[in-house]
């Protein structure tokens, strides 16, 4: 008589696992962001790295305190708050006062990371934090001034605002090398924005590295850039200048690569990327905003559950049709 095997409850197949768990994934992403922060510090602002590290640490402390209050245990949930803090800080002026940034971090980490609907709707926490700063600290968020610069002459970080107002295009080579600087007609001193707006080739390289290590998915980011470039071309805008200025490349890697707030399904990811790209191009061309990353990706966050449901439905329909065609 055969003996029925007793399976210990904690041992379930598969017994082989590949890839990283969530916390190492978050810290790999943080490593990629640290490279950009270090480059920015080396080229423009020696104290930037210290401030950046402080905000990242603050993000982890806020997450740990939130976990203590909500679960009674002082521990980190996934370490992704550090990534949220790092992304938020890299999309705002380097000289932004600390108080608003900390307010934004608390809002982003505590409130924005909660699902706001039963369907699993998540808003990108870094974008929520930035939206808060855009509304509550509108003056600070456009004050792209480096220490020691004459405030009367400075108006713009990277050339997209100037392009938006005066159709001034910066040299593409300097844009790619991250050499943002100089002035225009003695009125505008151009300064590098956050590290998220400089060193596009390095950001791309980091993105490829993160994809190769299985940390970020490519579909949303690639669809976003392609759709944005195509939209620019349709609207007779300089494609390369638009793609490599502002935070397009940074968003393609770190905002579109955020798994929690973008669609899960392959089709949904492509659709989400296309929507973000088109919306961003339309905002750049037809509104008073020179950049529309916050709005375009928050729209994708809102649409993500619906896009996933549509993808699931389409796949199931296709499976049903295939079954009928083979079985009959």
Q: Is 71 in the site for other proteins (CB under 8 A)?
A: no
- Mask for 254-273, x = binds other proteins (CB under 8 A): -----xxxxxxxx--x----
Q: Is 70 in the site for other proteins (CB under 8 A)?
A: no
Question: CA–CA distance from 83 to each of 28, 152, 287 (Å)?
Answer: 10, 34, 30
Q: Is 284 in the site for other proteins (CB under 8 A)?
A: no
Q: Is 99 in the site for other proteins (CB under 8 A)?
A: no
- Mask for 25-54, x = binds other proteins (CB under 8 A): x-----------------------------
State which residue, 187 or 319, has the beta carbon closest to other proteins: 319
Residue ranges in 152-211 that form contacts with other proteins under rule CB under 8 A = none
State which residue, 234 or 319, has the beta carbon closest to other proteins: 319
Which stretch in 38-46, 75-83, 84-92, 96-104 sits in contact with other proteins by CB under 8 A?
A: 75-83
Per the CB < 8 A criterion, the answer to whether 118 and 72 are in contact is no
Q: Minimum distance from CB of 220 to other proteins (Å)? A: 9
Q: Is 64 in the site for other proteins (CB under 8 A)?
A: no
Which stretch in 89-97, 180-188, 242-250, 319-327 sits in contact with other proteins by CB under 8 A?
A: 319-327
How many residues at the interface with other proteins, by CB under 8 A? 49
Q: Is 10 in the site for other proteins (CB under 8 A)?
A: yes
Question: CA–CA distance from 225 to each of 130, 220, 256, 266, 309 (Å)?
Answer: 21, 9, 10, 16, 24
Q: Is 313 in the site for other proteins (CB under 8 A)?
A: yes
State which residue, 60 or 264, has the beta carbon closest to other proteins: 264
Residues that bind other proteins (CB under 8 A): 2-3, 5-8, 10-22, 25, 77-78, 80, 120, 122, 214, 217, 259-266, 269, 308, 311-313, 315-317, 319-320, 322-323, 326-327
């Amino acid at each position: 008589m055969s003996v029925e095997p007793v399976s210990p409850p904690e041992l379930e197949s598969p017994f082989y696992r590949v890839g990283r768990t969530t916390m190492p994934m978050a810290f790999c992403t943080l490593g990629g962001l640290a490279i950009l922060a270090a480059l920015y510090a080396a080229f423009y602002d020696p104290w930037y790295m210290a401030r950046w590290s402080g905000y990242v640490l603050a993000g982890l402390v806020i997450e740990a305190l939130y976990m203590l209050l909500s679960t009674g245990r002082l521990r980190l949930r996934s370490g992704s708050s550090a990534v949220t803090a790092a992304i938020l800080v890299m999309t705002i002026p380097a000289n932004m006062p600390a108080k608003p940034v900390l307010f934004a971090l608390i809002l982003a980490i505590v409130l924005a990371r909660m699902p706001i609907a039963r369907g699993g709707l998540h808003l990108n926490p870094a974008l929520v934090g930035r939206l808060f700063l855009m509304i509550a600290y509108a003056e600070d968020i456009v004050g792209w001034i480096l220490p020691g610069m004459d405030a009367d002459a400075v108006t713009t970080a990277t050339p997209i605002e100037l392009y938006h107002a005066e159709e001034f295009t910066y040299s593409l080579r300097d844009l790619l090398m991250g050499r943002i600087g100089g002035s225009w007609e003695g009125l505008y001193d151009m300064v590098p924005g956050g590290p998220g707006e400089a060193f596009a080739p390095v950001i791309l390289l980091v993105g490829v590295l993160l994809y190769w290590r299985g940390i970020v998915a490519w579909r949303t980011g690639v669809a976003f850039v392609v759709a944005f470039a195509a939209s620019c071309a349709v609207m007779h805008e300089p494609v390369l200048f638009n793609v490599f200025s502002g935070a397009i490349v940074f968003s393609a890697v770190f905002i579109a690569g955020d798994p929690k707030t973008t669609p899960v399904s392959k089709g949904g990811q492509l659709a989400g990327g296309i929507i973000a790209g088109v919306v961003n191009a339309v905002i750049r061309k037809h509104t008073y905003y020179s950049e529309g990353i916050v709005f375009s990706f928050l729209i994708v966050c809102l649409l993500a559950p619906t896009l996933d449901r549509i993808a699931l439905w389409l796949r199931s329909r296709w499976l049903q049709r295939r079954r009928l065609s083979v079985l009959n």
